[in-house]
């Protein structure tokens, strides 16, 4: 027996509150990697779960006047279903640190290290950061606050058990240097080496005075430190001390995904625990970046957390998964915005991918009676075959390095190449001029590209690959990544055109129905000539008077001086401005708009204003300009 299972973990999350999009980010990424490895034909163990002990949960529960267990149970149930269920998280095991299987393992490990002398009893005097559940010495504090999160720390002085980190400082350093893949990305590796070189002090691994945790077996007044408890979850879930077969085939983890703020726990304390237990150390700990709202980390404590369930309700699971996996290069910090999610969905999924499918199936219907052509051996057109082969290589390289966003970028490059190929080959001309053999080859290439894309997208998206395959006339779901090789022979298959793959989403987050959707066209269709733009005359003017239009609760009547004369302009901004707000302000007007009668008043022009959803703002020059100045 040996290692034959590909083992991947996420952090186990604190069920102190509902989880947010930041937690979904790590978990969806781990899920995509797990699905990818299953498609490689590997056995996979994908573990996620919840970290339920500790003082923070104890306090929250008491605020809610519940026992800690009664407090966390519904939160954990919600994480499993609907949260992870709807996001399609294909975990093989969900570990809770309150499960008896885990408590046994934590106690056993603690006792072993105590027996071995790696844990000893002493007195702890120092500082504790409650939100991070981490200990700090005076010298590490920054202005008296936690050096990690900047929040206030609490003074602690008590009898405590200590874990002899200091004994392992040199071996850990040596291990990190001789295993360049252990800590990724490289920047975090350097950070950790610096941290270690500053000196490792023995770590307090027990607390008295709190009850919500796993007791030290030989001294139950002491509760085991929550991070010692939490890190052990990876051992418990692999079957350590319980299921030898499971453990020996799975250990050590191939990839442990964590957010960058907990890399230190996972690359200092954790490997030292394993060294002390004589166990192999994980292959890779990957510390990814943060999703930010503006400049700040999205998080529970800052009150800027975005609820993933709301996004799922609004956009559906595949756009949400796609956005999380594609938007930010894995490793770096990145801004989260809903606008970017909408843009990704509209541009990549609805426009590029959706159009390729709809154009390809429409042309096979029209020109070949819906019969999927087979590959003509005589064809020397290798354009799409070559691009597909290149993309497949890049995709695999990227996935092996956990560069998930790069893998998706490669796939969508293939999609865009195929769209461009349609423009180059002009199948409609080939049909018109009777070049049937060439036409069949071109349409085969497009069909085959879409089939390959459906294979490559399988780790990332849930039902989209099958929906593509359905329209292509394929019934079987993807089972192996090797299916992404160009040259499939579609014997006797027929196209089954269906709905648009992704409806476009308008700015308010509503799916735009097909009928009212602007033609999902290439961007160039929206371009205007400079000559067209110059036909419009924008000028600066000053509002001299403003009053409501009687009987129209949206309209204001404005008198605007345009540098030459006063004009009357009727504008639909009454719900956003009081008349007095506008008097004396400069505005930009469309000066050559044909006058029109509104509610019996002749309006001689129009004001520029921007709006989105419920907000509206009239456009004004940043610094004053002479009235009549042209805006262009
Ligand atoms: O730290 N951007 O749990 P936790 C990206 N229980 N990822 C984010 C994020 C953001 N804004 N916010 C959270 C704990 N995450 C411990 C872990 S493991 C043995 C114990 C993700 O509930 C990211 O993976 O605070 C981060 O490391 C984790 O959630 C923290 O979750």
Written as one string, the DSSP assignment of 538-585 is: EEEEEEEEEEEPTT-TT-EEEEEE-SS-EEEEEES-TTT--HHHHTT-
| pLDDT value of position 1 | 66
Measured from CB, residues less than 6 Å from any atom of ligand 1 are 11-14, 22-23, 25-26, 51, 230-231, 233, 258-259, 261-262, 290-291, 297-299
What lies within 8 Å, CB to CB, of 318 at 6+ separation is: 349, 461, 462, 463, 464, 502
* pLDDT reading at 181 higher than 50: yes
Looking at residue 481, what DSSP letter applies? Answer: G
193/602: higher pLDDT: 193
Which atom of ligand 1 is nearest the CA belonging to 132?
Answer: 1
Ordered structural domains, the chain, with CATH:
5-288 (3.40.50.620), 336-512 (1.10.730.10), 528-631 (2.40.50.140)
End-to-end CA distance of the chain: 74
276/604: higher pLDDT: 276
Q: Which of 421, 440, 448 is nearest to 367 (CA)?
A: 440
Length of the chain (residues)? 632
Alpha carbon 463 to chain centroid, angstroms = 18
Share of the chain above pLDDT 70, in %: 96
The per-residue pLDDT for range 104-135, each reduced to its tens digit, is 999 999 999 999 999 999 999 999 999 888 99
Q: Which two tokens stand for residue 178?
A: 């001789």
| Ligand 1 midpoint to CA 261 (Å) | 8
Q: Which of 121, 95, 69, 29 is nearest to 231 (CA)?
A: 95
The per-residue pLDDT for range 291-312, each reduced to its tens digit, is 999 989 999 878 899 999 999 9
Q: Which of 23, 16, 3 is nearest to 52 (CA)?
A: 16
Share of the chain above pLDDT 90, in %: 77
295, 337 contact by CB (below 8 A) = no
Q: Whose alpha carbon is nearest atom 24 of ligand 1?
A: 259
Q: Which of 172, 164, 167, 147 is nearest to 268 (CA)?
A: 172
Is the torsion defined by CA of 105, 110, 115, 118 positive or negative? Answer: positive
> If you compute the radius of gyration of the chain from its CA atoms, what whole number of angstroms results?
31
Q: What is the mean pLDDT of the chain?
A: 93
C-alpha separations of 180 from 183, 193, 281 in Å = 7, 12, 13
Q: How far apart are CA 538 and CA 540, in angstroms?
A: 7
The per-residue pLDDT for range 445-459, each reduced to its tens digit, is 999 999 999 999 999
Which atom of ligand 1 is nearest the CA belonging to 261?
Answer: 27
| pLDDT value of position 376 | 80
| pLDDT value of position 324 | 97
Pocket test for ligand 1, best of 9, 18, 26, 333 (most atoms within 8 A of CB): 26
| Segment 446-473 mean pLDDT | 98
The per-residue pLDDT for range 203-248, each reduced to its tens digit, is 999 999 899 999 999 999 999 999 999 999 999 999 999 999 999 9
What angle do the packed helices 436-456 and 355-368 form, to 10 degrees? Answer: 150
Which atom of ligand 1 is nearest the CA belonging to 26?
Answer: 24
| pLDDT value of position 611 | 78
Q: Whose alpha carbon is nearest atom 18 of ligand 1?
A: 11
| pLDDT value of position 513 | 53
| Ligand 1 midpoint to CA 234 (Å) | 15
| Segment 142-165 mean pLDDT | 93
Q: Which of 556, 622, 542 is nearest to 586 (CA)?
A: 542
């Amino acid at each position: 027996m040996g290692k034959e299972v590909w083992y991947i973990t996420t952090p186990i999350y604190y069920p102190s509150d509902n989880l947010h999009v930041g937690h979904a980010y790590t978990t969806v990424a781990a899920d995509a990697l797990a699905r990818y490895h299953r498609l490689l034909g590997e056995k996979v163990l994908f573990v996620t779960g919840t970290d339920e002990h500790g003082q923070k949960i104890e306090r929250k529960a008491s605020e809610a006047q519940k026992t800690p267990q009664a407090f966390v149970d519904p939160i954990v149930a919600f994480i499993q279903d609907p949260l992870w269920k709807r996001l399609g998280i294909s975990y093989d095991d969900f570990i809770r640190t309150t499960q008896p299987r885990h408590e046994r393992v934590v106690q056993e490990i603690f006792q072993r290290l105590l027996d071995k002398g790696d844990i000893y009893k002493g007195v702890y005097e120092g500082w504790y950061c409650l939100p991070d559940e981490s200990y700090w010495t005076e010298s590490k504090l920054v202005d008296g606050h936690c050096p990690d999160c900047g929040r206030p720390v609490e003074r602690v002085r008590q009898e405590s058990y200590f874990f002899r980190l200091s004994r392992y400082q040199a071996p850990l350093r040596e291990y990190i240097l001789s295993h360049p893949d252990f800590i990724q990305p490289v920047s975090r590796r350097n950070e950790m080496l610096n941290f270690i070189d500053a000196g490792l002090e023995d770590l307090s691994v027990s607390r008295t005075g709190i009850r919500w945790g796993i007791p030290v077996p030989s001294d139950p007044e002491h509760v085991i430190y929550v991070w010692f408890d939490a890190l052990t979850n990876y051992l418990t879930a692999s079957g350590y001390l319980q299921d030898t077969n499971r453990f020996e085939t799975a250990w050590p983890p191939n990839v442990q995904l964590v957010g960058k703020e907990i890399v230190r726990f996972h690359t200092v304390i954790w490997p030292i625990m394993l060294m002390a237990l004589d166990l192999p150390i994980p292959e890779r700990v990957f510390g990814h970046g943060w999703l930010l709202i503006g400049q700040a980390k999205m998080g529970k404590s800052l009150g800027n957390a975005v609820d993933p369930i709301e996004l799922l309700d609004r956009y559906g699971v595949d756009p949400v998964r796609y956005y999380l996996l594609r938007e930010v290069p894995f490793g770096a910090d990145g801004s989260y915005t809903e606008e970017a999610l909408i843009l990704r969905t509209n541009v990549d999924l609805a426009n590029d991918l959706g159009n390729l499918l709809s154009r390809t199936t429409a042309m096979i219907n029209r020109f070949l009676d819906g019969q999927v052509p087979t590959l003509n051996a005589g064809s020397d057109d290798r354009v799409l075959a070559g691009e597909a082969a290149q993309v497949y290589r890049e995709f695999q390289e990227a996935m092996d390095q956990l560069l998930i966003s790069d893998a998706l970028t490669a796939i969508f490059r293939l999609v865009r190449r195929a769209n461009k190929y349609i423009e180059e080959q002009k199948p409609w001309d080939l049909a018109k001029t009777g070049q049937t053999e060439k036409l069949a080859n071109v349409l085969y290439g497009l069909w085959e590209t879409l089939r390959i894309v459906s294979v490559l997208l399988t780790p990332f998206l849930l039902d989209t690959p099958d929906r593509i395959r359905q329209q292509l006339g394929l019934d079987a779901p993807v089972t192996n990544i090797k299916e992404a090789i160009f040259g499939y022979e579609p014997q006797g298959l027929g196209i089954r055109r269906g709905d648009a793959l992704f409806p476009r989403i308008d700015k308010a987050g509503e799916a735009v129905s097909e009928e009212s959707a602007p033609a999902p066209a290439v961007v160039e269709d929206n371009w205007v000539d400079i000559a067209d733009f110059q036909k419009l005359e924008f000028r600066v003017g000053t509002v001299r008077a403003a009053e409501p239009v009687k009987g129209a609760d949206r309209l204001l009547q404005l008198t605007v001086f345009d540098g030459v004369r006063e004009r009357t302009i009727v504008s639909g901004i009454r719900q956003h401005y009081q008349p007095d707000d506008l008097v004396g302000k400069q505005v930009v007007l469309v000066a050559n708009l044909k006058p029109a009668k509104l509610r019996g008043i002749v309006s001689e022009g129009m004001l520029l204003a921007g709006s989105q959803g419920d907000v509206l703002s009239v456009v004004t020059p940043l610094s004053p300009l002479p009235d009549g100045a042209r805006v262009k």
